[in-house]
Amino acid sequence: MRFLRTRFSFSYNLFIHSKFNEKRTKVNDGSLRQFSTTKNEPYFITTPIFYVNAEPHIGHVYTAVLADSSARFHRLIGCSPVVFSTGTDEHGLKIQQASLQANKDPSQFCDQVSVLFKNALDECEIGYTDYIRTTENRHKENVHSFWNILSDKGYIYKGKYEGWYCTADETFVTEDQTTLLKLPDGREQRVSTESNRPVEWFSEENYLFKLSKLRGELLKWLISGPVVRPVRHYNLVKSWLEQDLVDLSVSRPRARLSWGIPVPEDPSQTIYVWLDALLNYMTVAKHSHSDKNIWPPSVHVIGKDILKFHSIYWPAFLLAAGFDPPKCLLVHGHWLADDQKMSKTTGNVVSPQSCIDIATATGLRYFLLHEGVPASDGNFSMTKLVRIANSNLADGIGNLVNRCCGKNLNPSQIRLAVSPSDFEACGSPGLELLDLLQRTPDIVYEEYLQWNFYKGIDQIMALVRGANGFFQTMEPWKLKKEGKIDKLNASLAITMETARVVGTLLQPIVPSYSERLLDKLGVPRENRDWNFARLRSSTADTSLGAQGTVLFPKIKFD
């Protein structure tokens, strides 16, 4: 143990900042807007790590797609490095029981399910920079050294814990957070009121963490800036912190829970799975190989069901150990199917693969971000997914590209240089489109920054509609027949320029689709960052890519 602690003391020093509250603006105005991140600054974003007791569903993918779009956006605006982590949460009673039920050795069981998550995320074009598994040695080492810091600082003591525990949620609940249900066979079952899942009574010796001592510091962190968003979740955390906190049990006897990381110097106890899991973020930071300090995390993207762990336990552990708590928690709602949260227990899960098979990863990502409003729950519908992907990606943008890149009107297959005089040459339709084209990128920037991807997409689609309307009004096929070549070229140049801006703006949302679009338009790779996400005059024509113009084949689905 000594060895581990000496070895890691250097990297810990890299992270330690005690003045976290000096760096932020005073209490927010209620809107809790995202602090902005500037060029060349690190951006460290995470998804929660996924439990391996069940296979991935689109609720999990949503968390990951949100984080991925934000990571991609921050890369485009020049943040560096962008560290984006995801992975799997593999310890705890829940996994121990699931592997037993599957008749598998837990480590073999975890290997099998973890790879399913990795594949699903890869399929959905999630561009993580680290995929962490809590069963890795680098993580165990980090958990041990962190435990030792807490223990050295006097935050851990041995005591007796008695109370209700919900294994499905891996959480302790007080009696008034439970409800007694009458089962159909007449028996009674106590459940967690929040999740409706069974609880059991535990009475045992374990280690406790002095959470009760940290309420003041946690409140200070909370009001230091937009650390929990959207505002309703901020208010919820505030209400929790207005009451006393009780100390938290952070270990279980090994005899009851063997699948986990043992307490350093006391192998008869296993570390509580949430302490273990939350520390994944720090393990990633320590192994980020960046010469810049990336601590604290810029944002943890989380579902609303795991807010308490991230807004109370996690910052408390960090503050106790002397580290800065995260800058921001972005909390999203749930995807429902048949008006119930998608979950293995309810049996209403929609697998990402079933969506990809029908609509491709592009269709799925587009739908989740177009329909998902982080502050609310969303209802999943395959019919809606298909309708939206068809009308926006195949028809709206697809038609735009087809029209200006098709050999009919563009026999020499070039993207024509565009200049302000082209807009003037096209009269009021040209000037109206120019206005939209000039306004859209800044609005999209702000919406992406504020996690309103659905609003950003709406703006982009308004631009697409504007460009399709412009094209229709200009009737370039008539201009060609009439030999009005200058006006024909001006209409084509303007339409292609709009398509280029659309493709650049859409990169965080649908990366491979945007790539196809920009490749078709012959946009060099080095000209795709946010500086290019706006109207730019050019002097030279560019050859179009040789590929076909169909970016998204229309889906047939009844």
Q: Which parts of this chain interact with ligand MSP (CB under 6 A)?
A: 48-51, 59-60, 62-63, 89, 277-278, 280, 302-303, 305-306, 334-335, 341-342
CA distance 65 to 451: 12
Nearer to ligand MSP, 277 or 418 (CB): 277
DSSP 451-492: T-HHHHHHHHHHHHHHHHHHHHHH-HHHHHHTT-HHHHHHHH
Nearer to ligand MSP, 300 or 500 (CB): 300
CA distance 67 to 433: 32
Distance of CA 466 to the CA centre of its chain: 30
Nearer to ligand MSP, 323 or 530 (CB): 323
Nearer to ligand MSP, 12 or 309 (CB): 309
Strand partners, 132: 87
CB of 302 to ligand MSP, least distance (A): 5
CB of 335 to ligand MSP, least distance (A): 4
CA distance 282 to 300: 12
Comparing C-alpha atoms, which of 365, 405, 367 is closest to residue 499?
405
DSSP state of 261: P
Comparing C-alpha atoms, which of 242, 241, 237 is closest to residue 227?
237
CB of 280 to ligand MSP, least distance (A): 6
CB of 372 to ligand MSP, least distance (A): 9
Nearer to ligand MSP, 326 or 396 (CB): 326
The amino acid occupying position 68 is D
The amino acid occupying position 158 is K
CB of 53 to ligand MSP, least distance (A): 8
CB of 521 to ligand MSP, least distance (A): 35
DSSP state of 198: B
Nearer to ligand MSP, 89 or 141 (CB): 89
CB of 96 to ligand MSP, least distance (A): 14
DSSP state of 236: H
> What are the C-alpha distances in Å from 550 to residues 393, 397, 400, 405, 553?
10, 10, 11, 10, 6
DSSP 15-27: H--S-GGGSS-SS
Distance of CA 12 to the CA centre of its chain: 26
CB of 83 to ligand MSP, least distance (A): 16
Query: How are the residues of the chain apportioned to helix, strand and coil, as percentages rounded to the nearest 5?
Result: 50, 15, 35
Nearer to ligand MSP, 248 or 277 (CB): 277
- Give Cβ neighbours of residue 194 (< 8 Å, ≥ 6 apart): 169, 173, 177
CA dihedral 150, 152, 154, 159 (to 10 degrees): 80
- Give the Cβ contact number of residue 216 at 10 Å: 10
Q: Residue 95 is encoded by which pair of tokens?
A: 């996994």
Position closest to ligand MSP via CB: 303
Nearer to ligand MSP, 36 or 379 (CB): 379
Nearer to ligand MSP, 8 or 50 (CB): 50
CB of 373 to ligand MSP, least distance (A): 12
Comparing C-alpha atoms, which of 486, 475, 491, 493 is closest to residue 535?
493
Nearer to ligand MSP, 59 or 522 (CB): 59
CB of 344 to ligand MSP, least distance (A): 9
CB of 364 to ligand MSP, least distance (A): 14
Nearer to ligand MSP, 306 or 463 (CB): 306
CA distance 543 to 521: 8
Nearer to ligand MSP, 117 or 221 (CB): 117
CB of 417 to ligand MSP, least distance (A): 46
- Give Cβ neighbours of residue 218 (< 8 Å, ≥ 6 apart): 241, 245, 312, 315, 316, 319
Distance of CA 480 to the CA centre of its chain: 47
